[in-house]
């Protein structure tokens, strides 16, 4: 068995996520306590007892998802479950780098807090949207986006075969959704996001993030971490900080990342953190691999039984 850990990104959040793990495990409570001290935010209160509108703000969502993902990861590691490969969807790449030993706990909390703030506060004025397009070839979605001149819209997340997320201004995204429905899309679903993520509209946020990344230490990962940017592993020659800064303005190649891991022998994928969207993506890439999601006490115990 060759295990790959995959970490969710923004959109996987839900109010109360991880509460039963927090209640049951002292080590989880310690992680939340330490993350709260480092960030200056009460992450447990934000995640378990705030309003949904507060949790769903980008500056809060990212730190909440990261903290839960790390808590689940540490429980898996404590039970002897380790990965040979890891990847994350957008924000999840930071969890993957932490998993690979490339970045320490304090630094990953600090930089993800800053990333969330920048991605929320440096969005240009205007109405922005993202949408998931199901049931069409990537090339067709790309073509439609290129043809739209009355508005701005580009492919942002290549999630799995037959599913791509587009990002841009509300007008451009809505025009694209209408055209893609006419061309046979099974579904066009607007997402709960707050900006034109993974587009050039976040150039200012990317520039500022690059400056912030200079204040933290990032090393080469000790296990194979697959990049969103090109669906290939981080290598010694890579400037990880520069890649992470460019990450917010470039499309996420998650589907290709999963394909790379499968080609290199990963046969068991464990989704570490809130939700179970990523295991769904993996199943669309290949039905021949095992998929497990770990997001509460029950799924953790199930994973321990299956993987130890």
Q: What pTM was estimated for this model as a whole? A: 0.96
CATH 3.40.366.10 boundaries in the chain: 3-122+200-307
Q: What is the CATH number of domain 3-122+200-307?
A: 3.40.366.10
Between CA 67 and CA 112 the distance in angstroms is 10
Catalytic residue among 198, 206, 255, 257: 198
For the chain, how many residues are written? Answer: 308
DSSP 8-state class, residue 173:
H
Is 198 considered catalytic here?
yes
Hey, which CATH number is domain 133-187, 3.40.50.1970, 3.40.718.10, 3.30.70.250, 2.50.20.10? 3.30.70.250
70 closest CA partner among 51, 46, 49, 94: 94
Are 270 and 5 in contact by the 8 Å Cβ rule? The answer is yes
Compute CA distances 123 → 60, 128, 205, whole Å: 16, 9, 7
Phi, psi of 210 (to 5 degrees): -60, -40
Are 249 and 199 in contact by the 8 Å Cβ rule? The answer is yes
Q: What is the mean pLDDT of each run of 10 residues along the chain (308 residues)?
A: 96 95 98 98 98 94 98 97 97 98 98 97 93 96 95 96 96 96 94 86 97 97 97 97 97 98 98 96 96 97 93
Is 90 considered catalytic here?
yes
Tally DSSP H helices, then E strands, for the chain: 14, 9
Are 252 and 89 in contact by the 8 Å Cβ rule? The answer is yes
267 closest CA partner among 296, 250, 287, 238: 287
Catalytic residue among 36, 90, 167, 206: 90
CATH 3.30.70.250 boundaries in the chain: 133-187
Are 10 and 66 in contact by the 8 Å Cβ rule? The answer is no
Compute CA distances 274 → 18, 47, 65, 279, 299, whole Å: 7, 11, 7, 12, 11
Sheet holding 224-225, edge to edge: 224-225, 85-88, 3-7, 268-272, 290-294
């Amino acid at each position: 068995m060759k295990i790959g850990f995959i970490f969710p990104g923004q959109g996987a959040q839900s109010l109360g996520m991880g509460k039963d793990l927090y209640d049951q495990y002292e080590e989880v409570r310690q992680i939340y306590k330490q993350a709260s001290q480092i960030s200056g935010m009460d992450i447990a209160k934000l995640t378990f007892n705030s309003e949904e509108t507060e949790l769903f703000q980008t500056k809060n969502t990212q730190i909440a998802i990261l903290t839960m993902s790390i808590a689940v990861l540490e429980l898996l590691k404590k039970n002897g479950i380790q990965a040979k490969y890891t990847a994350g969807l957008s924000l999840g790449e930071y969890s993957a780098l932490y998993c690979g030993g490339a970045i320490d706990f304090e630094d990953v909390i600090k930089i993800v807090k800053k990333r969330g703030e920048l991605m929320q506060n440096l969005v240009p004025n205007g109405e922005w949207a993202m949408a998931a397009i199901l049931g069409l070839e990537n090339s067709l979605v790309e073509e439609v986006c290129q043809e739209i001149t009355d508005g701005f819209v580009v492919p942002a997340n290549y999630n799995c075969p037959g599913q791509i997320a587009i990002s841009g201004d509300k007008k451009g995204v809505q025009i694209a959704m209408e055209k893609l429905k006419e061309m046979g899309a099974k579904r066009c679903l607007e997402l709960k996001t707050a900006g034109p993520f993974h587009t050039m509209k976040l150039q200012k946020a990317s520039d500022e993030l690059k400056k912030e990344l200079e204040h933290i230490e990032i090393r080469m990962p000790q296990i194979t971490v697959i990049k969103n940017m090109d669906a290939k592993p981080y290598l010694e020659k890579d400037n990880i900080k520069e890649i992470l800064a460019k990450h917010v303005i470039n499309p996420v190649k998650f589907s290709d990342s999963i394909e790379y891991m499968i080609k290199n022998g990963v046969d068991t994928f464990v989704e570490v953190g809130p939700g179970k969207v990523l295991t769904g993506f993996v199943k669309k890439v290949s039905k021949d691999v095992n998929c497990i999601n770990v997001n509460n006490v029950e799924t953790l115990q199930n994973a321990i039984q299956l993987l130890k």
